[in-house]
Amino acid sequence: MNDNKKIHILFVCMGNICRSPTAQGVFRDMVEKQGMGDFIATDSAGTIDYHSGSKPDRRARETALKRGLDLSDLRARIVTAEDFEQFDYVVAMDKANYADLQALCPPGREERLHLFLDFAPQQPIREVPDPYYGGVAGFDRVFDLVEEASRGLLEQIVSHHFA
C-alpha cells in the first residue's frame, strides 16, 4: 500500500434499513477478507430519516446471517451534505437516491457520487431494487447484486488508490 490515506465509502438508500446496510456489511466483509480493514472504512445512510437509530430490517439481517454476515451492529442514519466531505465514495442504490444525493452534494464534490451497479457493468440492470415491500426472495436478489457490485467497487478502489 503506497497511500497512507484511509478511503471512506458511504452506501445510501432511502431508509437505510435494507439495501445500504446490506451493502455496507457485504463490502466491509470483503475488505476485511482482503486484509484491507486498516485502509478502507464503510458506513451507510438513508435519504429519509424515518428509521434513524434502527437496526437493519429483520429480513436483511436474516438474509445476511444465512450467508455468514452479521449486520446487527449497524444503525440507520440520514445522509448529510457533510458526508460528501468525509467520504471518498458516496454510493447510491438507485436513481432516485442518486438524484436526492445530487441535490445535497456541495459544489466540487460531484465526483464522489456513484450509482452502485455502475461497479457491476455486466449487470443488465442499473439499480438495486428496494426489497422492503416484497418477500424474502427480494432480499436474496439484493444480496446477490450487492456482492457483485462490491467486488467491482473494491477492484476500483484498489486500482485507483493502492496500486
Q: Which residues are catalytic?
A: 13, 19, 130
Distance of alpha carbon 54 from alpha carbon 35, whole angstroms: 29
The pairing of beta strand 113-115 with beta strand 7-13: unpaired
Beta strands in the chain (DSSP E): 7-13, 40-46, 89-92, 113-115
CA angle 121, 10, 108 (to 5 degrees): 85
User: Is residue 10 a contact partner of residue 29, using CB atoms and an 8 Å limit?
Assistant: no
Amino acid at 134: G
Distance CA 74, CA 26 (A): 12
- At 24, list the grid cell: 455496507
Helix (DSSP H) and strand (DSSP E) numbers for the chain: 5, 4
